Amino acid sequence: MREFTVPPVEAAPQVGGLADALFDRAVAEPDRIVLGRRGPGPGGEWRDVTAARFRDEVLGLAKGLLAEGVRFGDRVAIMARTRYEWTLFDFALWAVGAQPVPVYPTSSAEQVFWMLYDSEVTACVVEHEDHAMTIGSVIDRLPRLQRLWQLDAGAVAELTAAGADIDEEVVHRHRRAVTPETVATVIYTSGTTGRPKGCVITHSNLMFETDMLLGRWEPVFRSRAGDQASTLLFLPLAHVFGRMVEVAAVRGGVKLGHQPVMAAAELLPDLAAFRPSFVLAVPYVFEKVFHAARRKAESEGRAGPFDKAVEVAVGYAEALEHKAFGTGPGPSAALRVQHQFFEKTVYGKVRAALGGRLRYAMSGGSAMDRRQGLFFAGAGITVFEGYGLTESSAAATANPPERARYGTVGQPVPGTTVHIAEDGEVWLHGGQVFSGYLNDPEATAAVLNDGWLATGDLGSLDDDGYLTITGRKKEILVTSGGKSVAPTGLEERVRSHPLIAQCIVVGNDRPYVAALVTVDQEAVEHWLAMQGRAPLAPAELVRDPALETEIRRGVVAANTLVSQAESIRTFRILAHPFSEEHGLLTPSLKLKRKAIERAYAAEVEALYG
């Protein structure tokens, strides 16, 4: 199949902007809980925020922004982790027609300089003093930057006080001037290759995107009687995925909480306290939850029963999948009995670790292993895998609620068309497709053609319109023998081994394909302990024969997916993971291939020695 369209579930927005939904809800349901806000300090209690309270806070902050000189169309950078105040600033800026420019809090001074210079920001909000110092180091090259506010130094209170004498009607006049075509935000791409580009996203783009998701995935976002739908946002708000979640929650009346740290030690306690009904995450989060549960079971001497529970969950979910597509009768009586047994002993505990109320999740950012998706579905948490880009305001496809096909990224979001070009490139058309790159007409013309977005990704559509992503056009390797290899699928399969953290496949202009691998330190420490062995230093680990044997199992399993000419012939274990701080990962954890190959040039050469 070359093209597939899903019709819209409702008309695209014709008037207004993103802030209107907040003000409308505060009038219609002033006492509805729309956000949860955690108190200060570790383990601070969660407090409810009503629609009326949030409206008043947004209004107060918007008045302060006007008092401090922020005007309609101005761009204001936000450099912070995911926290309540980010959402507060977003909606205050949208209420006055300004344009937030998100900046990853881990960005270097030069990255910050480029984004602020290119977008001509006039003001900036930072989280703490370190961020302020980063801005300060480049401020002499940013002549348009006039104001800097620091969240941890009382920025919200300061601005609210500054705007106390401004009439509320001034804010409303600005808000009523916003139209769907007004620019809402400029979001910079992660920059896996070259300098980040600013994606110009309109109010219409985000309203269309979120309204289609809210309509089609109603079971996820809908509140049950006496049990409001809620989500804990731990994705970076500097990333389009996190931003879409924020907007969808406010437009859908979903209770929204913020968690700034994605590490399990910080995240799991907040999941238990906030108890979301659904989450939106990247596959990495689900992998960590699964592997942590597996290690706990092994430590307690229950690895065998846990593995059996996994097999039953996968089989149960697969049987339901076949039934949904009319290719099977569903789970057998025996499988249902086994599933019920493990519901009490395993699956319920997995859900309890995630807060106990979680029934749905959406996954994006990178490919999720089919087997892992089936396990979570069998354990009572349906994970809808999707696909999108910054340029498509997040999701362009996602698995539908009633017929998820695990291992694919689903069908087009309503109102969207997916087309596969002759060379296998995925093209997208829909109301969420951005209007272009800021100050870069040449780059815009390279990806936008008559409303069609050329994604740079390669993929295929099955007969039911489900999309499978097979790689990136720019990342295809060609061996010296002329064999083309898409590395992404191989890398994801290698990474599915519990001891492996990262994998990069190399082989361009080389006689065969090889790989560099990093290990999950926590998983390796557990593995050594289960063998009765003492912890090893990183330099010792990379030479450990038993570890090499384990890693080889993961590589061999991945090689079963491809032909011999495409298979990984050899690999090397690295002592340290690829990190963002060393310039080897983007802020959204994507590999910077050229940078990694430069940094590990000697190791790559040794693979072919």
Q: How far apart are CA 296 and CA 378, in angstroms?
A: 19
Q: Which is nearest to 436 in space by CA: 184, 209, 198, 194?
A: 198
* Per-residue pLDDT at 216: 94
- Domain positions in the chain are 19-177+230-276, 283-468, 476-607
476-607 has the same fold as 283-468: no
Contact call for residues 96 and 174 (beta carbons, < 8 A): yes
Q: Give 220's Cβ-side CA count (13 Å radius).
A: 26
Sheet bearing 99-103, strands edge to edge: 99-103, 75-79, 123-126, 147-150
Q: Which residues of 63-76 are buried (b: 16+ CB within 10 A; e: fewer)?
A: bbbbbeebeeebbb
Q: Which is nearest to 35 in space by CA: 275, 256, 249, 221?
A: 256
pLDDT tens for each residue of 360-384: 999 988 888 899 999 999 999 999 9
Q: What letter would DSSP give residue 376?
A: H
Binned average pLDDT, 10 residues per bin, the chain of 609 residues: 92 92 97 92 85 98 98 98 97 98 93 96 98 96 97 98 97 98 94 79 97 93 79 94 96 95 83 93 87 90 95 98 96 97 92 91 88 96 96 97 95 98 96 97 96 96 96 89 87 92 94 95 92 90 93 94 90 93 83 92 92
* Per-residue pLDDT at 194: 64
Q: Which is nearest to 46 in space by CA: 245, 204, 276?
A: 276
Q: Which is nearest to 57 in space by CA: 83, 21, 22?
A: 22
Tell the burial category of 222 from Cβ atoms under 10 Å away from its Cβ (0-12, 13-18, 19+).
Answer: middle
Question: How would you write 18-68 as a 3-class SS string?
Answer: CHHHHHHHHHHCCCCEEEEEECCCCCCCEEEEEHHHHHHHHHHHHHHHHHC
- Architecture of the 19-177+230-276 domain: 3-Layer(aba) Sandwich (3.40)
Q: Which is nearest to 416 in space by CA: 203, 221, 211, 253?
A: 211
Looking up tokens 């590589």 gives 555
Classified as helix, coil or strand, 109 is helix
In this structure, the dihedral spanned by the alpha carbons of residues 276, 277, 280 and 281, taken in order and rounded to 10 degrees, is 60
pLDDT tens for each residue of 491-503: 989 998 999 999 9
Q: Say if domain 283-468 classifies as CATH 3.40.50.1950.
A: no
Q: Which is nearest to 80 in space by CA: 116, 144, 147, 129?
A: 129
Q: Which is nearest to 219 in space by CA: 136, 277, 286?
A: 277
Looking up tokens 């596959």 gives 283
Contact call for residues 351 and 382 (beta carbons, < 8 A): no
CATH class of 476-607: alpha beta
Classified as helix, coil or strand, 150 is strand
Q: What letter would DSSP give residue 576?
A: S
* Per-residue pLDDT at 361: 94
Looking up tokens 């495409």 gives 566
